[in-house]
Chains A and B, each alone.
Chain A
Amino acid sequence: MHELGVVFYIIRDVKAVAEENHVQKVHSVTLEIGEVSTVIPHLLEDCWNWAVKREPIMDAAKLKVEQIDAVTYCEDCKGTYPTVQYGKICPLCGSEHTYLLKGNEVSIKEIEAT
């Protein structure tokens, strides 16, 4: 829902890194996005394509997305299971005492630049 806001954060971070590393042009930005991060990759890409055109240092930069599967941990049976399929209740023992191990990331992994 707030993909545009996320894109503005990414652009700000990438511009800072580009300046620190004295690069002339950013060609691509690779993100790691968790399955349950609430960020929808294709909407992010639409916002990206609109926003980067306004940034000379990265006006043709491609967005690459690597998805991270969501995994939940059960405190009672110590098992792990896929979050999207089963939600908050552990399919192994029926417990509600569970928490997300990974899958809510929105991170910048790396950039390609010259």
Chain B
Amino acid sequence: MDEVKIIEIKKSVFADNDADAAKLREELKRKGVFLLNLMSSPGSGKTTTLIKTINLLKDKLRVAVMEADIDSDVDAKKILAATGVQSIQLHTGGMCHLDAEMTRQGLDGLALDDVDLCILENVGNLVCPAEFDTGATKNCMILSVPEGDDKPLKYPLMFSVCDLVLINKIDVAKYFDFDIERCKGYIRMRNPRAEVIEISALTGEGVDKFAAWLIDQVRKQREEK
């Protein structure tokens, strides 16, 4: 039998994904495509928020959507029917998150020359998506009122990787024990740089601010070129 040899590797398991993600981010910047990675728990209102926001934006920016789910294509169909923008469904094949390679495969399925803003709706989960860099230009998460104002304490990594936190369903805040100022304090503890916008995807309150934030971010990325 051949002699057993030990090969030293000393490499982080996430190193390849981080490198892929950085490369993808750079390519998107060159193409003038802003990619937003949108994360949240299941049921926080991601799809409803997107529909309202895209309908405010679509005359100003060319928008596309990638919906990631473990299975089904209900979200992609819903987005297309309600907004008319390019929308594709990605299946993660049972995985709890998307990584940079899966994101790239999704982008290959879109006509990117006609896109200013691409929104990636990540798998509904507050743990795993935070660990894997997708290559997005910015990260955003939605926290909805019924989930509770203590989520930044329970899922610190998610809040620390986000550039923007949307607090959704503020129209029902009075029915829940949810203190918006306390929640903002917890978010600042985990991530002093994160911006916070309060919205109600149902009534439309605050959605214009999110739309304005996106327009501003797309402009900033272009100016950096």
Contacts and interface: CB of A to CB of B under 8 A. Distances in A.
A60 interface: no
Contacts of B125: 1
B2 A6 contact: no
Given A2-B131, A5-B97, A9-B17, A27 B12 contact: no
Interface in A72-114: 96, 105-114
B113 interface: no
Interface residues on B, range: 20 to 34
B12 A107 contact: yes
Contact of B95 (A4, A96, A106, A108): A4
Interface in A8-36: 9-10, 12-14, 17, 21, 23-24, 27, 31
B96 interface: yes
B3 interface: yes
B5 interface: yes
Most chain B CB inside 10 Å of its own CB: which residue of A21, A27, A106, A108:
A108
A108 B157 CA distance: 23
Contacts, number: 79
A27 B4 contact: yes
A106 B8 contact: no
Contacts of A23: 5, 7
A9 B7 contact: no
A114 B1 contact: yes
B157 to A, nearest CB: 8
Contact of B127 (A6, A24, A38): A38
B9 interface: yes
B4 to A, nearest CB: 5
A6 B3 CA distance: 29
B122 to A, nearest CB: 13
Given A2-B131, A112-B5, A114-B1, A10 B13 contact: yes
Interface of B: 1-14, 16-17, 94-97, 99, 125, 127-128, 131-132, 157, 189
Given A96-B189, A110-B8, A113-B7, 18 more contacts: A1-B96, A1-B127, A2-B127, A2-B132, A4-B94, A4-B95, A5-B132, A13-B16, A23-B5, A24-B2, A38-B127, A107-B9, A107-B13, A110-B9, A110-B10, A111-B9, A112-B4, A114-B5
7 contacts: A2-B132, A9-B14, A38-B131, A96-B189, A109-B10, A110-B9, A111-B9
